[in-house]
Amino acid sequence: MSIIKAKDVTFEYIRRDEEGNVEGITTAVDKVSLDIKQGDFIAILGHNGSGKSTLAKHMNAILYPTEGTLWVDGKDTKDEKELWNIRQSAGMVFQNPDNQIIGQVVEEDVGFGPENMGIPTKEIWERVTESLKAVDMYEYRKHSPNKLSGGQKQRVSIAGVLAMHPKCIILDEPTAMLDPDGRKDVIRAARALNDVEKVTIILITHYMEETIYADRIFVMEEGSVVMEGTPREIFSRVEELKKRRLDVPQVTLLAHELKKRGMDLPDGILTKEELIEALGL
């Protein structure tokens, strides 16, 4: 079952002058078609300006296509009467944790979403508890969000989305402003939601290491999806990634260099453990 399906989606930002005349058009997303299944863990990679955020904003109907169609859980995002359902099915977490938290106390913040949905109070508290536990932030439920680290704030943001019981969570560079520990905790939380709760995860990131556990990776360039495959397939194409000026996980690169120098190693080694095993150590 598809949770997100795009058919020939194009999006143009149109700049106008004061009189309303068109000054310029940026085609941020250019004929993208993709099909994401319920329960998938998807990573989207690509340079700044390649259209990742614009595409992501289509996935919970913040934007809708200039041309083409995008469906969330079978609902066309252009259908205004489905807007509420779509936003409930697909929640979004953004880069800056400070812009996303509004409550004075962590548990209150996480309760806002379900409260706005008109969920009965008793169930709101159940959802807040389960969501905070799922991201390992339950012990901070009485804390002020201001005092948390960036990684902790992001996990509270994720809990806030989770409390709305979405089928899909889109994370747009959630770790970009975090330190390495914060990054690890956020990714661990996202993976756990996917594994345990079967929430579809769409993770936009610059960090290659965060993508190796994905079911599938999409690489974007100039508004188009230019590579698609499992992490092993994508990271087997080291030369192509280098040509696109994209990073490769360090261990993958090392294995690739050793192989070029004549060692008998498989393509697309993704972890230290795999390399050690392939070396027969």
Q: Does 170 bind ligand ADP (CB under 6 A)?
A: no
Q: Does 52 bind ligand ADP (CB under 6 A)?
A: yes
The least distance separating ligand ADP from the CB of residue 57, rounded to whole angstroms, comes to: 8
Question: Which residue's structure tokens are 């979403």?
Answer: 113
User: Which residues ranging from 1 to 30 are in contact with ligand ADP (CB under 6 A)?
Assistant: 13, 26, 28
The least distance separating Mg ion from the CB of residue 222, rounded to whole angstroms, comes to: 14
What are phi and psi for residue 226, nearest 5 degrees?
A: -105, -15
Q: How far apart are CA 274 and CA 260, in angstroms?
A: 18
The least distance separating Mg ion from the CB of residue 68, rounded to whole angstroms, comes to: 20
Q: How far apart are CA 38 and CA 30, in angstroms?
A: 24
The region, left, alpha or beta by phi > 0 then psi within -120 to 50, assigned to residue 4 is: beta
> With contacts defined by CB under 6 A, how many residues of the chain interact with ligand ADP?
11
Write the single-letter amino acid at 272.
Answer: K
Instruction: Tell me whether residue 53 or residue 200 sits nearer to Mg ion (CB atom).
Output: 53
Which residues, 6+ apart, have CB-to-CB distance to 162 below 8 Å?
91, 131, 134, 135, 169, 193, 197, 199
Which part of the chain contacts ligand ADP (CB under 6 A), choosing from 45-53, 91-99, 113-121, 183-191?
45-53
Q: Does 53 bind Mg ion (CB under 5 A)?
A: yes
Which part of the chain contacts Mg ion (CB under 5 A), choosing from 34-42, 53-61, 83-91, 160-168?
53-61
List interacting residues with ligand ADP (CB under 6 A).
Answer: 13, 26, 28, 46, 48-54
